[in-house]
Amino acid sequence: MNFDDLIQGFPDLTTTGLAQGSIYALVALGYTLVYGVLRLINFAHSEVFMFGTFAALWTWGIMGYDSNSTRPDLGTALLLILVSLVVASLFSGGVAMAVEAVAYRPLRKRNAPPLVFLISAIGASFVLAELMGAFTERRQQGIPGLLPGEPLFSAGGWTVYPLQLMTFVVALAVMFGLDWFVAKTRFGRGIRAVAQDADTAALMGVNKGRVIALVFLLGGLLAGVAAVFYSMKQGNTRFNVGFLIGLKAFSAAVLGGIGNLRGALVGGLLLGLVESYGAALFGSNWTNVIAFVVLLVLLMFRPTGLLGESLGRARA
C-alpha cells in the first residue's frame, strides 16, 4: 500500500473522484427511479447510456468535429457541449422510452411475474448492445478534444481541470433539479404516489402508464448527460462501454439506498472517491476490485444503504 501517493495526491484524487462519481450518480438515478416505481432493476439502462455516447459523437461529427480535429476555441467548445447535451439526452430518453414500451409494457399488461421482467431486462440490454455493435462493426470510436487540457486553476495542492469542474457542476445542478421536480411538481407527486401505492394512486386519478413512461424518460435524460461527460473524459466510446459503468452505477444506487434519489447522489460520489483513493493506495489495476469490495463490506453492516432505504420499502 502506497500511503505517500495517497497523502501527497489527496487534493487531486478528490477532484478526480468527485468528477467520476458525478457520472456514476447521474446513471444511478435512472436505476433508482425505475426501481422506486416498478420494483424493477432496468439492466438495459447501461445501454441507454451507451447510446447517449454515440449520440454525442454523431452530433459533434455533424458539426464538423471528430477525433482528428484541432481543439476549438472556448466559445465553440461550449456550444458543441451544449448541443451534444441536448441531443444525447433526448436520444437516450427516446431509447429508454422505447425499451419500456417494447420490453416491459406488454409484460405489465399480462401481469407477468418479476422473473420474466428480469429476463426481459437482460435481453433488452444484450439486444441494444449488439445492435450498436453491428452498426459500428464493433470498432472503438474516437471523441474530439473540446475543452483545454490545461488546469483551470491550481492552489494549495488542488489542481482543477475545466472538464472536471463542468462535470461536477452540471451533474449537481441536474440532480438537484430532479430532486426539486420529484418533490415539488404535480408530475413529481404522481411519481411518488405510484411508488408508494400504485393501486391507490390509480383510484385518485393518477395515470400509472404515463408515470412509468415519465420515469423512464427522466432516467434516459440523465444518462444522456452522463454520456456526454464520460465520452469527453475517456476520449472514446464503444458498443459495450455501458457494461462496467452500468454495474458501478447500480452499485452506487444500492450503496446510497436503492429507490432514494439523494442516496444515488451520495452513493455515486462516494464510489468515485473510493475508486480514486484506492487507485493511489493499491494501484490502478485494483480500482474495480476496491470499489466492489467496499460496497460489499458496507452492505454487510448496513444492508439498507447509507441513507437507510431498504429494497422492500424504497420510494422515488
Tens digits of per-residue pLDDT, 8-36? 889 999 999 999 999 999 999 999 999 98
Residue 310 has pLDDT above 80, yes or no: no
In a domain, residue 72? The reply is yes
Neighbours of 308 (CB within 10 A): 12
In a domain, residue 231? The reply is yes
Closest CA to 28 of 300, 262, 297: 262
The confidence band for 316, taking pLDDT boundaries of 50, 70 and 90, is: very low
**Assigned C-alpha cell, 256:** 446510497
**Range(s) of the domain holding residue 227:** 15-138+163-301
CA distance 235 to 53: 11
In a domain, residue 254? The reply is yes
The confidence band for 154, taking pLDDT boundaries of 50, 70 and 90, is: confident
The confidence band for 298, taking pLDDT boundaries of 50, 70 and 90, is: confident
Tens digits of per-residue pLDDT, 50-106? 999 999 999 999 999 999 999 999 999 999 999 999 999 999 999 999 999 999 999
Q: What is the pLDDT of residue 305?
A: 82
Q: What is the pLDDT of residue 308?
A: 63
In a domain, residue 186? The reply is yes
Percent of the chain with pLDDT strictly greater than 70: 97
- The CATH number for 90's domain is 1.10.3470
Mean pLDDT taken over the chain: 91
Residue 313 has pLDDT above 70, yes or no: no
Residue 314 has pLDDT above 70, yes or no: no
- Specify the number of domains making up the chain: 1
Q: What is the pTM of this model?
A: 0.94
In a domain, residue 10? The reply is no
**Assigned C-alpha cell, 66:** 471528430
In a domain, residue 128? The reply is yes
In a domain, residue 153? The reply is no
In a domain, residue 3? The reply is no
